[in-house]
A and B are shown apart, each in its own frame.
Chain A
C-alpha cells in the first residue's frame, strides 16, 4: 500500500541571475503512488515547472542548481545518477509533455519519424518495427496512421498536442509529467484531449503529475492536488479535501478569485498584492503580506506543515484555529 512510485524529499532549486539568486523551489516534499494523478497547481513563478524539470533532469545546467533534496524513483535517487543512466530513464520510464505543442515538435521532421525516433532510442528494434509502433501510437491518440509522413505545420494545435502525447507515451512510461498540456488549446479541444489522456492513463496505468493553473482541469482529471506558492507547497490533499475544505488562506483566495458559472456575486474577491520577489523571499510565512488572517507569529517564523486529517497537509501557522 505504502509503495510510492516517486518520492521528492526536501527539494530546493535555485537559479542564478546576473547578480541575484532566484529561489524557485524551496524544500518541497511530494510523493506519488502508482496510478495516482496529482495536480500541481499554482500561479506563474510558483515553481511548478522547475519541479517537473528537476525530476526529468533537464534543468539548464548553467543557471540552475539543486541545493538540497532527493528525488527517489524506483529506489534510486535520480539526482545522483549520471547523465548516461538518466538517459535510459528519461523519455522511457519518465516522460514529459510540454505546454506549447507548437514549439515541442521538430518542424522539419515528419511526426511519425519523431515518434519512431523516441521508440528506437529506448528499444532495440528494427526500423520497420519502430515505424509500426509509431503508427500504433498515432492511432491510439486518434490520428489516422496515414498521416505518419506529415509535418507538424500540417496539423492544428489540438492535433499537435496529440502527437506530443503519443510521443511521450510511446515507450509506455510509468510516470508522465504533463506541463500545462491543454492551456494552449480551445475549451472544446481541451475537453477532447483531457478525455483521451484519461482513457490512456487508465488503460496503461500511468501515474501522472499534471501541472496547471486551472482548478477546473484539476477537478476533472486529478485525484490529489498540491497547491504551490512562491516555491513551496502550501496545501496538499485529495481533490475532495482541498476543493471542499480549502484550509490555506492562499488556496481559499484562489477559489474566491474565480468567477463562478453558478452564482453572480457583485464583485470577485481577489487576493490583494502580488507574489513576493523570488530573489528576496521572506524567511517567515511567504503569504503573510497578502493574508487576511496574518497574525504576529506569521511574520516571525516560517510555518510548519500540519496534517489536518490523513493526507491533508497545510503549511500555515493558524490553520488549526481556522479549522476549529
Chain B
C-alpha cells in the first residue's frame, strides 16, 4: 500500500472568449504502485486534460500533485526533467503521434538519447530489447511508421513510453483507434508489462468494457468533475450516480438477446464554460430536485466507493421498491 501518485483538488481552467472553461475541476485521487486507475467519460469531460495536467504537459490552475512522496505541483526545470523519465504517456492515435521521418529504431532510441549517459552500442542493444519486449520483429527496425499497421505503430508508442523505465504511465485511449482483434493483442501486452514491471497506469478511455477489464479502480467524470469513484467491479455492480447508470446502460452488449434496459438521457453535454454551482448533470438528470443546485461533494457509500449526488440514498431505496 504505497501511494505512488496523490492528486488533491486538482483544477485546470482554460481562458476562453466566453469565460473560464472548467476542464478539470477539483479532482482528487490516490494511485498505488502497480495499480490501474480507469478514467471514463464522454468527449469533453476533461479526462484527457486530467492526464496532461498530471504530466505537466499543461500547468495546473490549482491543487496539489504528489509523486513518490514529493510535491511536484510546481517543479523546477531540472526537477521536471527527471520527473518526465518516471511519468510517460501513450497516445491515442498511433498515426499522428510518431514522427513520420524517423524509423522505428530511431523513434524508440530517441528517449534514450535525450536522457544521455549511454554508449551507442548500449542504446542499440536496449532499443532491440525494447522492440522484443513489445513484440516488434527486428526486421522492422529500419521501417518507417507509414509502412506499419495501427497495432504495430501503437507498439512503437508503448516501447517509447517504456524506454526510460517509468513508474507511471498515462494511457490516453491507447486502443480506441485499433480493430478489436488487434485491440486485444495490445491490451494483453499492456497487462503483461504491468505485471512484469509493476508500474501504475492511468487508463483514460470512453470504452467502458475495456476500462473494466483493465482497471482496479474507476473514476467516472462529467464536465470536469468526478461524479463517482469505486473499485471496478463495485462500480458495475452497484452503480449509484444517475449519470454513471445512464453511461453504463448505454454500452451496446455483444450478446443476443441482450435484454438492455436503456436509460436514455435527454439532451447533450452542457457547456463547461462558467458552469453554475451545483450538480453539472442536473439539467439532464431525471431525478433532479432542489438540492441538486447546491455544490455536490463526493460522499463515501462503502469503503472505497464515492459518489457525488445528493439524492443517491433516496435513489437506492427507489430501486429496491421496484
Residues of A that sit less than 8 Å from B by CB: 43-44, 156-159, 186-192, 194-195, 213-220, 239-240, 243-244, 253-261, 264, 267-272, 274
Contacts and interface: CB of A to CB of B under 8 A. Distances in A.
Interface of B: 42-43, 149-151, 179-185, 187-188, 191, 206, 208-210, 212-213, 233, 236, 246-247, 249-258, 260, 262, 264-265, 268-269
Contacts of B251: 187, 216, 261
B206 A274 contact: no
18 contacts: A44-B179, A156-B268, A187-B251, A188-B264, A191-B250, A215-B254, A219-B253, A219-B255, A239-B256, A243-B256, A254-B181, A257-B184, A258-B180, A258-B184, A259-B184, A260-B209, A260-B213, A270-B188
A255 B213 contact: no
Contact of A254 (B180, B236, B258): B180
A272 B184 CA distance: 10
A157 B269 CA distance: 11
Contacts of A188: 42, 246-247, 250, 264-265
Contacts of B268: 156, 158-159, 189
A74 B30 CA distance: 63
Closest 8 CB pairs of A and B: A216-B252, A215-B254, A270-B184, A259-B213, A257-B184, A186-B42, A243-B256, A43-B179
A259 B212 contact: yes
A192 B206 CA distance: 17
Contacts of B252: 187, 190-191, 194, 214, 216-217, 219-220
Nearest to B260: A220
Nearest to A191: B250
Nearest to B192: A267
Contact of A213 (B180, B185, B262, B265): B180
Given A261-B209, A264-B213, A191 B264 contact: yes
Contacts of A158: 268
A268 B42 contact: no
Contacts of A274: 149, 151, 182
Nearest to A43: B179
Given A254-B181, A270-B182, A216 B254 contact: yes
A99 B313 CA distance: 41
Nearest to A270: B184
Contacts of B185: 270, 272
Contacts of B260: 220
A267 B256 contact: no
A299 to B, nearest CB: 20
A189 B180 CA distance: 22
A237 to B, nearest CB: 11
Contact of B188 (A192, A195, A255, A268): A268
B183 A257 contact: yes
Contacts of A270: 181-185, 188
Contacts of B187: 259, 268
Given A188-B246, A190-B250, A240-B256, A213 B182 contact: no
Given A187-B250, A195-B262, A257 B181 contact: yes
Given A187-B247, A264-B213, A269-B184, A258 B43 contact: no
B306 to A, nearest CB: 21
Contacts of B183: 257, 270
Nearest to A187: B250
Given A43-B179, A254-B180, A257-B184, A243 B254 contact: yes
A45 B233 CA distance: 35
A174 B187 CA distance: 42
A33 B185 CA distance: 37
B179 A261 contact: no
Nearest to B43: A186
A177 to B, nearest CB: 20
Nearest to B284: A188
A268 B264 contact: no
B238 to A, nearest CB: 14
A220 B258 CA distance: 7
A271 B181 contact: yes
Given A187-B206, A187-B251, A219-B252, A267 B188 contact: yes
Nearest to B44: A186
